[in-house]
Chain A
């Protein structure tokens, strides 16, 4: 099932982001602050935080692992969703920091960035970090923050969108403003 821009817009609308109008259109200057390796200085720890482009790339890569095989159009969907999430908010910076930890672990374990890992290695990376058994927590351990800002962030985007809902049999999932008619209709 193809994820569309409408899905990304719906997922964004579900979480209150405003990127819908500019969906798929990179902001001017996006990534311009990045170094050659797609990173910007953290300033506090001395470690580097990924720029928007690197966050998008890593998140899209993780999405191919946590989304079911039946969906296509994942890159554009994640990209569109993140247009509204990487908005300078505390939440957006939480995503960036969690991706940074994921990248750091990937380089340490596999000597490669997340985006270059195989689907199986990404799965192993997430499970090795404990993101599968962790409960989401934006202030918790690395595993809990990766669960919150990466895994659940992506799952929320998918399953609050009409296409994600339809995979499960609900075209108007919770969080999606799919109108007040579908509840009265019988099964297709």
Chain B
């Protein structure tokens, strides 16, 4: 069936298909491991453990039909649909409150369902830098992580193989952290506009290099190479961009059970600090208890703390795993910084939806007053002609004239800046607002520190300098006032060796619980300025090893 109006919505309150769809959503008997969340972290944990253990994965959202991806792409292009409409985010299931100094557009920033937010992600997969793990000591900001780059290094390499990363293997990027082995695939060629930027950067003494993409530059793992649909974010119809359905399917092939539309409302525990069951609701209105020996919560940086807070009990009145009081605190995202304009020559934008060159040169200059940041050279500056064509009061020749005037000469740079962890930037439970299952919705108070805002100004200076060297007429600058989140939810169940200072230990196991791990960017004590998913994946693989070892030892 074709057409943007032929797509199943997927929301639990959307009617059709959500009830009586014939799917068995009853608990799995004798499960060893219960994973909450079928995004990249949950999928990788499930895949790694499914060969040896009985694994069940519960996800609040639906299983999306792969045949509907082109119709979702049409939703991404057509002006009627907002970003959350592409993957059916929103409604009572996904209700939330904003109460911070900056509004956080949560439902633009996530996808619920099998595959999670990798369904709509951009697919950038950098490793954090060594200093990111020691921010407190080296930069004087935030705590150090209880693990070092070297602890994660083999897992980074493995995560790159699992996701399928096309990258420059560090050869052309002297600022990347050390690695022994090349990326699994060669990097994408630089774009035509990259070549224009490279010239300008060279005259300014600024380095430009390739970027690692979780996107196939050649056939990999049975998936297609990129075919250039140009809508990577929010949907890759070809499957060239990695998404977590890859590992969900692999886990299922090994015998794991994945239950969609299974909204976990609470985790139950016994008197010995063990989680005993995940209590979940299904679309038929039934409530089920999934018991298991080990639990891995992999529900992202907002729903993960929410679940622990919702699981408050007499024994744990402030929420499960919350002896530190830090569950939900230190909510962080990366801040977007950017600038753009036009040249008096063609720049060949919007052929693809990903970028191919970046600059990490300034990253490790970070200190107490300057946050780490990275710069990106866009291949999708300015409008996409087909999107332009669908909005306007013209057609025929006048429309074509408008498209030709509007497309062709744009250039733009982006970048990400670290924000420091702050306890009052946080996720709590709303007092009198509940979701479709009667559970309090997440309440987000997002604030950004001055160091991050000052750093955005510095990045803007560099971006404008490069654009001017390029000869561009600079038309916009996204500075401290115009910045927004990059949709990376981090910090809300931070990792620490000290049970008073963190929610999970260095193995990502909850300090307060014997058999519960968190696989998510919510464990990041500080965020660095690199896109988080490769680190999420590496930590997830490490969590799976720890779960496996502890199950073997019991």
Q: A18-B2, A84-B2, A174-B386 are in contact. Are A184 and B77 (CB under 8 A)?
A: no
Interface size in chain A (residues, C-beta < 8 A): 60
A contact residues around B268 at 8 Å (CB): none
- Interchain CB contact under 8 A, A132 and B393: yes
- Interchain CB contact under 8 A, A182 and B351: yes
Q: Which of B70, B231, B351, B384 contacts A178 (CB 8 A)?
A: B351
A7 at the interface (CB under 8 A from B): no
Q: Which of A87, A136, A167, A187 contacts B400 (CB 8 A)?
A: A167
B545 at the interface (CB under 8 A from A): no
Give A84 to B70 CA distance when docked, in angstroms.
13
A56 at the interface (CB under 8 A from B): no
Give A160 to B387 CA distance when docked, in angstroms.
9
B551 at the interface (CB under 8 A from A): no
**Which positions 365-423 of chain B face chain A at CB distance < 8 Å?**
379, 384-387, 389-391, 393-397, 399-400, 403-404, 407-408
- Interchain CB contact under 8 A, A136 and B80: yes
Q: Which of B71, B227, B356, B385 contacts A165 (CB 8 A)?
A: B385
A92 at the interface (CB under 8 A from B): yes
Give A139 to B383 CA distance when docked, in angstroms.
26
**Which positions 245-293 of chain B face chain A at CB distance < 8 Å?**
none
- Interchain CB contact under 8 A, A16 and B74: yes
Q: A175-B230, A187-B346 are in contact. Are A65 and B394 (CB under 8 A)?
A: no
B298 at the interface (CB under 8 A from A): no
B356–chain A nearest beta-carbon distance, Å = 8
Give A158 to B432 CA distance when docked, in angstroms.
49
Q: Could you give, for residues 58-89 of chain A, a 1 whenever the CB lies within 8 Å of some chain B CB and a 0 otherwise?
A: 00000001111110000000000000110111
Give A85 to B231 CA distance when docked, in angstroms.
21
Q: A16-B2, A156-B78, A176-B229 are in contact. Are A132 and B348 (CB under 8 A)?
A: no
- Interchain CB contact under 8 A, A15 and B395: no
Give A185 to B228 CA distance when docked, in angstroms.
13
Give A178 to B67 CA distance when docked, in angstroms.
20
Using CB atoms, name the residue of chain A closest to B218: A180
- Interchain CB contact under 8 A, B396 and A65: yes
Q: Which of A14, A15, A68, A88 contacts B396 (CB 8 A)?
A: A68
Using CB atoms, name the residue of chain A closest to B345: A187
B contact residues around A66 at 8 Å (CB): 395-396, 399
Q: Which of A14, A169, A180, A185 contacts B407 (CB 8 A)?
A: A169
- Interchain CB contact under 8 A, A156 and B5: no
B183–chain A nearest beta-carbon distance, Å = 17
B203 at the interface (CB under 8 A from A): no
Q: Which of B77, B385, B387, B395 contacts A151 (CB 8 A)?
A: B395
B534–chain A nearest beta-carbon distance, Å = 21
Q: Could you give, for residues 64-102 of chain B, a 1 whenever the CB lies within 8 Å of some chain A CB and a 0 otherwise?
A: 000111110110011110000000000000000000000
- Interchain CB contact under 8 A, B397 and A160: no
Give A109 to B66 CA distance when docked, in angstroms.
45
Q: Which of B74, B217, B237, B351 contacts A170 (CB 8 A)?
A: B351
B contact residues around A135 at 8 Å (CB): 79-80, 391
- Interchain CB contact under 8 A, A173 and B404: no
Using CB atoms, name the residue of chain A closest to B351: A183
**Which positions 451-493 of chain B face chain A at CB distance < 8 Å?**
none
Q: Which of A89, A137, A152, A182 contacts B3 (CB 8 A)?
A: A89
Q: Could you give, for residues 129-165 of chain A, a 1 whenever the CB lies within 8 Å of some chain B CB and a 0 otherwise?
A: 0001101111000000000100110011011100011
A contact residues around B68 at 8 Å (CB): 16
- Interchain CB contact under 8 A, A91 and B379: no
Using CB atoms, name the residue of chain B closest to A158: B389
B353–chain A nearest beta-carbon distance, Å = 8
Q: Which of A65, A136, A164 contacts B390 (CB 8 A)?
A: A136
- Interchain CB contact under 8 A, A155 and B228: no
Instruction: Give the interface size class of chain B.
Output: 35 or more
**Which positions 162-219 of chain B face chain A at CB distance < 8 Å?**
188-192, 195, 217
Q: A65-B396, A69-B396, A155-B395 are in contact. Are A180 and B3 (CB under 8 A)?
A: no
B contact residues around A178 at 8 Å (CB): 227-228, 351
Using CB atoms, name the residue of chain B closest to A165: B385
Q: Which of A89, A91, A94, A183 contacts B191 (CB 8 A)?
A: A183
- Interchain CB contact under 8 A, A173 and B6: no
A119–chain B nearest beta-carbon distance, Å = 9
B406–chain A nearest beta-carbon distance, Å = 9
- Interchain CB contact under 8 A, A152 and B396: no
Q: Which of B1, B77, B352 contacts A156 (CB 8 A)?
A: B77
A contact residues around B353 at 8 Å (CB): 174
A21 at the interface (CB under 8 A from B): no
Give A164 to B3 CA distance when docked, in angstroms.
20
A36 at the interface (CB under 8 A from B): no
B4 at the interface (CB under 8 A from A): yes
Interface hub of A68, A132, A136, A164 (most chain B Cβ within 10 A)? A68
B83–chain A nearest beta-carbon distance, Å = 15
- Interchain CB contact under 8 A, A148 and B2: no
Using CB atoms, name the residue of chain A closest to B4: A91
Q: Which of A138, A155, A175, A185 contacts B192 (CB 8 A)?
A: A185
- Interchain CB contact under 8 A, B389 and A155: yes
Give A177 to B238 CA distance when docked, in angstroms.
9
B contact residues around A148 at 8 Å (CB): 78, 80
B135 at the interface (CB under 8 A from A): no
B225 at the interface (CB under 8 A from A): yes
Q: Can you list 20 A-B pairs with a CB-CB distance of less than 8 A?
A: A16-B3, A16-B68, A126-B395, A136-B78, A136-B390, A156-B389, A159-B403, A160-B386, A164-B386, A168-B400, A168-B407, A169-B346, A170-B408, A172-B230, A174-B77, A174-B387, A176-B229, A178-B227, A182-B228, A184-B191
Q: Please give 15 more A-B residue pairs, beta carbons under 8 A apart, in addition to A155-B386, A155-B395, A183-B352.
A: A15-B73, A16-B73, A66-B396, A88-B1, A92-B2, A137-B80, A156-B74, A159-B389, A167-B403, A172-B228, A174-B230, A174-B385, A174-B386, A175-B231, A183-B191
